[in-house]
Amino acid sequence: MELLLRKLCDIAVRDGRLEVVTASGNRFVAGDGAGEPAVTMRFTDEAAQRALVLYPEMKLGELFMDGRLVLERGSIYDLLALLMRGRPGGRGVWGSRLVRRLRRAALALFARNGERRARANVHHHYDLDHRLYDLFLDPDRQYSCAYFERPGQSLDEAQLAKKRHIAAKLLVEPGHAVLDIGCGWGGLALYLAGVAGAGRVTGVTLSTEQHETARERAAKHGLSSRIEIALMDYRRVEGTFDRIVSVGMFEHVGPAHYQEFFDTTAGLLREDGVMLLHTIGSTGEPGPTNPWITRWVFPGGHIPALSEMIPAIERAGLRLADVEVLRLHYAETLRAWRGRFLARREEAARLLDARFCRMWEFYLASCEAAFRYEDLVVFQLQLTRRNDVVPTTRDYIGERERMLRGLEAGTTRAAARRTG
């Protein structure tokens, strides 16, 4: 089995240096030895080595979680970066193209996210102790890709810039009715109503924790009359809206339900309406999401390729008005989250336990490395029902952002006067 382990590591590591210490104490090195930092990983038992050889995509994370794969030099992020950076633009260090295609076919046939399963999937991740998210998110609890306008921008500034960028693309006007699908803890709804001036924002979520918090925040900001937060599946929403936005939710829909999603949103969007879909995506060919992620972090999750979304958009009668690809923005977001989490790891261990902390560190590290070295990006798709709804050039986005910055300053001063 050690021979197979050596072969696996030789395949996975092309540049850099990975030193492996087996359970029997033997050592070998994979890679060309170039670059730093070098990484040393050690197996605590022979069964762990066998498990990694048989199913590396799943077992690497599980063995780290269980403390059976130990990093003696370097961090788990260093190991994952070493494994991924030799294959830029791809997805999956060890999975063959045939295996990926077979898993994709199985996903299309059997993976269903009906309302009951969707609620269970959301509960698995988003209804954890709210104090966990306070350890690493910004104060507004933006749990999606930030928008870094310049190098060195802080996470808090970049998350505010993300909300501003989305609001600018939505072209929100006073009196508009806005639907926020997957509203999280309510931060974007607060921005659209409190800064952008939307007349009514309806946010829907399947998370009981997020529902309660978002309602409390709306009341605290004096916006309960203009923000409604519903514990509801988006498929149950009724009425029509001037604007529809969805940030970080589409990844949970699943390919079997893409047509249902776009048919539903097309029916909710007014004839002259604008929709903005912000989702993690792949610039490569469609493929299955990492099995460790779907088992331990985001059950039912799937990373869409444009080729999977566009046919459903077309059949729903929606028009693609604009596409923006945010490259490396999520890698920087995850780097900030990981740094904040590790700085407060002891608090996380008191809330949950050490195994959970290792799981969460692996989740943040593996996602950061994937966005930095593989084919993962964030898509912002602007959708309309007519061609003449949004301006014909992109100049309006910058103009709207400048206007919103001024409104943010006024909102901040007003809030200070209320609390002063």
Residue 289 has pLDDT above 90, yes or no: no
Tell me the whole-structure pTM to 2 decimals: 0.90
Find the catalytic residue in 9, 183, 357, 367. Answer: 367
Q: Give phi and psi for 373, each to the nearest 5.
A: -120, -15
Residue 221 has pLDDT above 50, yes or no: yes
* Terminal-to-terminal C-alpha distance of the chain: 68
**Most distant CA pair in the chain: distance in Å?**
70
Give the pLDDT of residue 111: 52
* Average pLDDT across the chain, whole number: 90
Q: What is the mean pLDDT of residues 321-346?
A: 97
CATH of domain 117-385: 3.40.50.150
- Phi and psi based region of residue 171 (left: phi greater than 0; alpha: psi -120 to 50; beta: remaining): left
Contacts of 313 (CB under 8 A, 6+ apart): 262, 320, 381, 383
Residue boundaries of the structural domains of the chain = 2-86, 117-385
Give the pLDDT of residue 318: 98
Q: What is the mean pLDDT of residues 384-413?
A: 92
Residue 96 has pLDDT above 50, yes or no: no
Give the pLDDT of residue 114: 60
Query: How sure is the predictor about 103, in pLDDT bands with cuts at 50, 70 and 90?
Result: very low
Q: Give the DSSP per-residue string, 335-400.
A: HHHHHHHHHTHHHHHHHS-HHHHHHHHHHHHHHHHHHHHSSEEEEEEEEESSTTSS-SSTHHHHHH
- Contact of 204 with 237, CB cutoff 8 Å: yes
What pLDDT digit, counting tens, does each position of 21-42 carry? Answer: 999 999 999 988 876 668 999 9
Q: Please give the radius of gyration of the chain, using alpha carbons only, rounded to the nearest integer.
A: 22
Class in CATH terms, 2-86: alpha beta
SS3 228: strand
Give the pLDDT of residue 35: 66
Query: Catalytic site residue 9?
Result: no
CA 400 to CA 277: how far, in whole Å? Answer: 18
- Identify which of 80, 140, 137, 95 has the alpha carbon closest to the alpha carbon of residue 371: 80
Q: Give phi and psi for 322, each to the nearest 5.
A: -165, 145
